[in-house]
């Protein structure tokens, strides 16, 4: 726009022609070039000279709308980039621009779809300022705290009379906001609002009760039912039951509540609700305890296979050195060869395979929202090898070329191992249960919304 200022100045001071007309002409030129920002400046100036000039009003309407739309494009960009302060200021800039156009008689189209987004962003920004004010207040930096509240009032009119000299003027706007948030179903935001109030005054009105209401409604609760095992021992599901609850509780979301295994099992037992595997019955039971969702788990395969201590004879290859007389030099050449031999393999093994099905159920209607079947298998085995000779000369395979194969150290170590006790079924079960629980937790937690 600066390059047109000399022209504008010349027209305003020296030209004998209609000054508004010259401004409109320049605005039209800029508008035709797509320079809407500068064009609107000329139309605004023309309207200062001639407030009801139709051509200036039409030109402003035509150029100002793209400018306003672009302001909201930038606003959206800031929101997506989480630049909260920039987004709030950009929205206020768009609001001011809209009102300025309206003041000269040009009604622009306001994109209402951004209003709710701005409301959320503004509240987040104001809450940040509020937190700063509280920190400054606690540090007895009262002037700085007062300035923070003045800044909040610029964007949130409910804080226009807020002053640290009268704490109720600081707390009541936040209290009213918390009530509005509850009425809109914004329970997490309401919980934060009442928390802020209680940090300053833990007896302010009924903030504590409202905070509890907000938190209860914001919290997503999951009842983890005891694992049902109808194909093996009931005890085999204990590890799985404990691990599922443990993995689920490791989430860092303060608004997720997972049932406590022992406490929930006792509550079910007192009502006679044991070994429930039907989703509708489970939903009814969990609903009685105030849970929103249910996790039902059932063991459908529980197989243990033991291989008793056995001995087998296996083939290997033993290296030896052979000397060959060279008749020409009358000296001996030494070459390495392999000969087939045998060794004993004493071994035993224990294998456990567990397959489960699990269902994620809504207590509202007993509907199964997600279900799956997964399985894990664990095996523990040991081999104790024995050879009547030097194991350093022993190889488990033939060479592929003309050289000795590389030694298999892991295989050779089995010739010197000491017999140990195999892992028990419970120990294998524990390892399997942990892996299955991790799979379940990583699947279910994203669904708790």
Please check the confidence at residue 1 and state whether its pLDDT lies above 60: no
Mean pLDDT over 415-444 rounds to 94
What is the number of other CB atoms lying within 10 angstroms of the CB of residue 437?
22
Q: How confident is the model at residue 410 (pLDDT cuts 50, 70, 90)?
A: very high
Is the pLDDT higher at 1 or at 64? 64
Mean pLDDT along residues 141-158: 79
Q: Supply the mean pLDDT for the chain.
A: 87
pLDDT, position 2 = 42
pLDDT range class, residue 215, cuts 50, 70, 90: very high
165, pLDDT greater than 70: no
Domain with CATH 3.40.50.10610 in the chain: 219-449
The DSSP secondary structure of 362-383, one letter per residue, reads: ETTT--EEEEEEEEEEEEEEEE
Cα–Cα separations (whole angstroms), residue 239 to 13, 116, 243, 440: 91, 48, 6, 14
Q: Using pLDDT thresholds of 50, 70 and 90, give the confidence band for residue 164.
A: low
Confidence of residue 162 (pLDDT cuts 50, 70, 90): low
pLDDT at 128: 82
Angle at which helix 261-270 crosses helix 238-249, to 10 degrees, equals: 120
pLDDT score, position 199:
84
For the residues 424-432, what does the mean pLDDT come to?
93
* CA trace torsion 59, 65, 71, 75 (10° rounding): 180
Confidence of residue 5 (pLDDT cuts 50, 70, 90): very low
The answer to whether 225 and 296 have CB atoms below 8 angstroms apart is yes
What was the pLDDT predicted at 234?
64
> Which CATH number is 120-216's, of 1.25.40, 1.10.287, 3.30.70, 2.20.25?
1.25.40
Span 353-391, pLDDT tens digits: 999 999 999 999 999 999 999 999 999 999 999 999 999
CATH class of 219-449: alpha beta
Residues carrying CATH 1.25.40, the chain: 2-110, 120-216
**Strand 220-224 vs strand 293-326: parallel, antiparallel, or unpaired?**
parallel
194 and 212 in contact (C-beta within 8 Å)? no
Confidence of residue 11 (pLDDT cuts 50, 70, 90): very low
Q: Are 271 and 321 in contact (CB under 8 A)?
A: no
The pLDDT of residue 17 is: 53
Tell me how crowded residue 27 is: count the other CB atoms within 10 A of its CB: 28
> Which pair of tokens denotes residue 36?
């809407």
List, for residues 334-348, the tens digit of each pLDDT value.
888 899 999 999 999
Residue 277 buriedness (CB in 10 A; 0-12 / 13-18 / 19+): middle
Residue 227: φ, ψ to 5°: -65, 130
- Number of continuous H segments (helices) and E segments (strands) in the chain: 15, 7
Residue 401's pLDDT band (cuts 50, 70, 90): confident
User: For residue 156, is pLDDT > 80?
Assistant: no
CATH pick for 2-110 out of 1.10.10, 1.25.40, 1.10.275, 1.10.3470? 1.25.40
Predicted confidence at residue 303, as pLDDT, reads: 93
Residue 414 has pLDDT above 90, yes or no: yes
Q: What would the mean pLDDT of 132-155 be, rounded to a whole number?
A: 80
The whole-angstrom separation of Cα 317 and Cα 302 is: 41
Is 300 strand, coil or helix?
strand
What pLDDT score does 235 carry? 72
Is residue 12 pLDDT above 50, yes or no? no
Token output for 184: 């809109």
Q: Inter-axis angle of helices 425-444 and 238-249, to 10 degrees?
A: 40
């Amino acid at each position: 726009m600066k390059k047109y200022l000399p022209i504008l100045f010349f027209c305003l001071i020296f030209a004998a022609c209609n000054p508004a007309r010259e401004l409109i002409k320049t605005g039209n030129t800029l508008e035709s070039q797509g320079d809407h920002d500068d064009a609107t400046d000329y139309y605004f100036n023309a309207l200062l000279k001639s407030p009801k000039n139709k051509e200036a009003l039409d030109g402003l309407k035509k150029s100002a709308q793209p400018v306003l739309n672009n302001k909201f494009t930038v606003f959206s960009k800031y929101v997506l980039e989480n630049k909260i302060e920039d987004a709030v200021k950009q929205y206020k800039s768009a609001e001011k621009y809209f009102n300025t156009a309206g003041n000269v008689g040009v009604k622009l189209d306001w994109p209402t779809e951004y209003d709710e987004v701005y409301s959320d962003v503004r509240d987040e920004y104001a809450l940040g300022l509020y937190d700063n004010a509280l920190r400054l207040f606690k540090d007895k930096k009262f002037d700085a705290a007062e300035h923070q509240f003045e800044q909040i009032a610029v964007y949130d009119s409910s804080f226009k009379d807020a002053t640290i000299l009268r704490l109720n003027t600081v707390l009541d706007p936040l209290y009213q906001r918390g009530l509005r948030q509850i009425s809109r179903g914004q329970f997490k935001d309401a919980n934060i609002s009442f928390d802020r109030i209680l940090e300053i005054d833990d007896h302010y009105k009924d903030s504590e009760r409202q905070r509890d209401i907000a938190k209860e409604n914001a919290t997503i609760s999951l009842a983890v039912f005891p694992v049902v095992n109808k194909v093996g021992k009931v005890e085999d599901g204990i590890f799985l039951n404990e691990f599922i609850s443990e993995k689920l509780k490791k989430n860092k979301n303060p608004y997720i509540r997972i049932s406590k295994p022992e406490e929930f099992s006792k509550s079910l037992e007192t009502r006679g609700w044991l070994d429930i595997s039907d989703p509708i019955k489970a939903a009814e039971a969990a609903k009685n305890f105030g849970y929103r969702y249910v996790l039902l788990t059932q063991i459908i395969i529980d197989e243990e296979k033991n291989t008793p201590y056995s001995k087998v004879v296996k083939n290997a290859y033993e290296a030896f050195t052979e000397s060959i007389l060279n008749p020409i030099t009358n000296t001996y050449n030494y070459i390495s060869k392999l000969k087939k031999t045998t060794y004993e393999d004493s071994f035993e093994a224990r294998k456990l395979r567990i397959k489960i099905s699990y269902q994620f159920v809504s207590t509202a209607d007993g509907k199964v929202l997600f279900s799956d079947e997964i399985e894990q298998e664990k095996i523990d085995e040991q081999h104790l090898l024995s050879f009547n000779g030097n194991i350093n000369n022993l190889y488990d395979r033939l060479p592929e070329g003309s050289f000795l194969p590389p030694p298999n150290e892991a295989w050779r170590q089995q010739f010197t191992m000491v017999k140990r006790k195999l892992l028990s079924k419970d120990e294998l079960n524990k390892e399997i249960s942990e892996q299955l629980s991790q799979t379940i937790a990583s699947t279910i937690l994203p669904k708790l919304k």
